[in-house]
Amino acid sequence: MMLETLHALIWAWIGAITMFTVTVSPTVFATLEGPQASAFLRAYFPRLFKYEILVGLTIIGLSIGLSTHGVTYQYGISVGLVVTLLAYLNLRVIMPKVNDVSDQLVAEPNPETKKQFALLHGLSVGFFLINAISMIALYAFGS
């Protein structure tokens, strides 16, 4: 039962971030002006990262539970730790820097600030991808 719960959690999270990427993000930029889009995303992303931290911690808990039933689920614990750490870094380090650079872009757009924004945004997206790939690998190879 714990393994099925873990698998359901993984696919629920993958579905949630896919839906954000495919529906929410393009809709925000298509329908809201810059300041409104920024306000929405600044409210949305902290919640998203907090839920991702919760997903990582739940993966750890379920993996420990699986380990106590005779199956060592170290890979699951490792994936949970990576997910939790990268989501925490996105929440506490990357996102505040993205917000600061975004504010600088509004006040004084220049190529260097755009480059910095692109780098930070790419890092944040990269963390999401690492987490997603790690969870899919856990599903595929951890069973």
Note the pLDDT tens digit of each residue in 109-137.
999 999 999 999 999 999 999 999 999 99
pLDDT at 26: 94
Mind listing the pLDDT tens digit for each residue in 33-85? 989 999 999 999 999 999 999 999 999 999 999 988 777 688 999 999 999 99
The encoded tokens of residue 42 equal 């600044």
Is the pLDDT reported for residue 143 higher than 70?
no
Determine how many CB atoms are found less than 10 A away from the CB of residue 128. Answer: 18
CA–CA gap between residue 29 and residue 34 (Å, rounded): 8
- Cβ atoms of residues 143 and 3 within 8 Å: yes
CA–CA gap between residue 96 and residue 66 (Å, rounded): 36
